Chain A
Amino acid sequence: MSLNKIFRNTLLVFFASILLSACAVKTTGKMQGDVYTGKDTVEYLASGVPDRVFFATNETVLTTASRETLRKQASWLRKNSKINVVLEGHADERGTREYNLALGERRANAAKDYLMTYGISGNRISVISYGKERPVDSGSNPLAWSKNRRSVTVKAN
């Protein structure tokens, strides 16, 4: 193998790795990857307790920020033991209706499971999926979709 060729290959690998690392974490204003990180639509259950968590496209995994939000919700729920909540799971508009209903249910349950691991009784939490039926942002663009992929904790009583 000529030195020239080796050099060229190294260069290729080098550029490829730069490209990959650029893709891995793309933060564009209010999104990290395609998970919404802004505060535009967020409401508060109590001071410092955000009501919602956001998801990546087709995903139900809770991000670090989502887990932090849910821990705050859990401690608020522990302090207010008379309050029950409904977790409303939602999907964006870029999916078929029926699958999105299932996806919304799965997202709300991901949030419920996390609250339960922090000591909140499952009896205090009910879950409903709205699929793609109740967006908060009507826009047909990635930022709007990221706001709509969410699970919102709502007081039930």
Chain B
Amino acid sequence: MKRIIFFIYICLFTFNWGKAWSLIEVDITRGNLNPLPLAVSPLSVDQNSKEKFKDLLKLEDIGAEISKVVENNLRQSGLFNPLDPKAFLQKPDIAHVKPRFEDWALIKAQALITGEVKIVDEKLRVEFRLWDVLAGKEIMALAFTTVSENWRRVGHIITDKVYQRLTGEKGYFDTRIIYVAEEGLKTSRIKKLAIMDQDGFNTKYLTLGNELVLTPRFNPTNQMVTYLSYFKNLPRVYLLDIETGIQEVVGDFPGMTFAPRFSPDGKKIIMSFAKDGNSDIYTMDLESREVEKITNHPSIDTSPSYSPDGKYICFNSDRSGYQQIYVMRSDGSKVKRISFGNGLYGTPVWSPRGDLIAFTKLHKGKFYIGVMRTDGTGERLLTENYYQEAPSWSPNGRVLIFYRETKSDSAGKGFSAKLWSIDLTGYNERMVKTQTDASDPSWSSLLTD
């Protein structure tokens, strides 16, 4: 009996303890119409560091700039409502040491982020704290050092930590998007590989636009990318190391290879190979260069994507007569159709959480981005438009990025291609800003864990 009472006591204690620590918590499983109001106090910078940063980075106030990155990230997530810094009553340096919670409560902030940046040994050192305003206590404190050029990433890392502390799930802010930048007439479009930070900054072009390039995808374990290039008018799957710029063709196939993607461990590429009017799915081991044929069917089999445990593959096939989604074991056995709704289904992508498959659906002249369980049940359409396709998951499996095209006349007037993102909940649909028109986005893993 005593033991039972003791056990109950422990339960109660842990329960209460948990609750005390989660006064503010954000539910990300539902559409959030009441984003959490919070204050991102500009990070404080001492005069000496401020001057040095000004020389190094040409920024007036690096503290305020990093805070803006955090603020923007949190706002874009749709879960938080960062308050206008003009309303802040307390100075950044004092707030970071000892916030006057009444002042922050007055402007309705439920959480507060404060911090300090300085130069230490020619490097940028940041220290930040997350405060629960209502409970009046610090709930997280962290410091790290990096090269000054990485100052935007500092903002992304802070956002990831705050997001994780308040939602209980990993963030997706210190990530990059690789995509195809588009320019020119629709009939002779110029396409280049481009990479940018998740928030649209630091865009870099990786190819010159001399040949058509399509469908870049990140290796989930490193900075390699696989994509389709029409180099020398031979459409083949290529591998590109973003750090070194070295490219190589994948495998020695006597025909078009396309629709590449990495396996979750990053060691294989899975893709389609088309020959004599038939497309089948193949894998190539990047180390041994061994090629394996996975499907063997006279229909079109394409757009393969592995489950995160590597045991299954979902893919697109028209073996039933029209484009549908199928799942099979990674050796190609036990093929099973999972899409049975009205319309055509394409571009299946397995969620990094493993439980869902995102897809593009075409029905009655409209295109949808949707998700279904891996057995095909629970289909949910998130967004409808004239044309949109190719969803890619954020590394935490909470957001999808895809591209959308507009209608045009015969001269191409009115045409545009843009990246969009939407939460798994179907809320928080946003255009992702890019310097040019854009398509085929692929989301990287978190750069720092």
- Residue ranges of A at the interface with B (Cβ–Cβ < 8 Å): 58, 60, 93-99, 101-103, 105-106, 108-110, 113, 127-130, 133-140, 144
Contact = CB atoms under 8 A, between A and B. Distances in A.
Interface stretch (B77-85, B193-201, B407-415): B407-415
Contacts of A60: 277
A130 B258 CA distance: 11
B360 A135 contact: no
A103 B300 contact: yes
B186 A135 contact: yes
Contacts of A127: 255
Nearest to B189: A133
Contact of B387 (A94, A133, A134, A139): A94
A99 B274 CA distance: 11
Interface of B: 185-189, 212, 214-215, 228, 233, 235, 255-256, 258-259, 272, 274, 276-279, 300, 302-303, 316, 318, 322-323, 346-347, 360, 362, 365, 386-387, 389-390, 405, 407-412, 414-415, 440
Given A136-B187, A138-B187, A97 B410 contact: no
A97 B318 CA distance: 15
Nearest to B301: A102
A98 B258 contact: yes
Given A93-B405, A99-B346, A138-B411, 17 more contacts: A94-B362, A96-B389, A98-B346, A99-B300, A101-B258, A102-B272, A106-B278, A106-B279, A106-B300, A128-B233, A130-B212, A135-B187, A136-B187, A138-B186, A138-B409, A138-B415, A139-B408
A98 B277 contact: no
A149 to B, nearest CB: 15
A138 B274 contact: no
A125 to B, nearest CB: 11
Given A98-B346, A138-B415, A105 B279 contact: yes
A94 B386 CA distance: 9
Contacts of A130: 212
A144 B322 CA distance: 22
A93 B390 CA distance: 14
A105 B410 contact: no
A140 B214 CA distance: 22
19 contacts: A94-B362, A96-B390, A98-B303, A98-B316, A98-B346, A98-B347, A99-B303, A101-B214, A101-B235, A101-B258, A102-B279, A102-B302, A105-B255, A106-B300, A128-B233, A136-B187, A138-B410, A139-B409, A140-B386
B215 to A, nearest CB: 7
Contacts of B409: 138-140
Nearest to A105: B274
B277 to A, nearest CB: 3
Nearest to B180: A97
Which A-B residue pairs are the 9 nearest by beta carbons? A109-B277, A138-B412, A96-B346, A140-B407, A139-B410, A138-B186, A102-B279, A102-B300, A98-B259
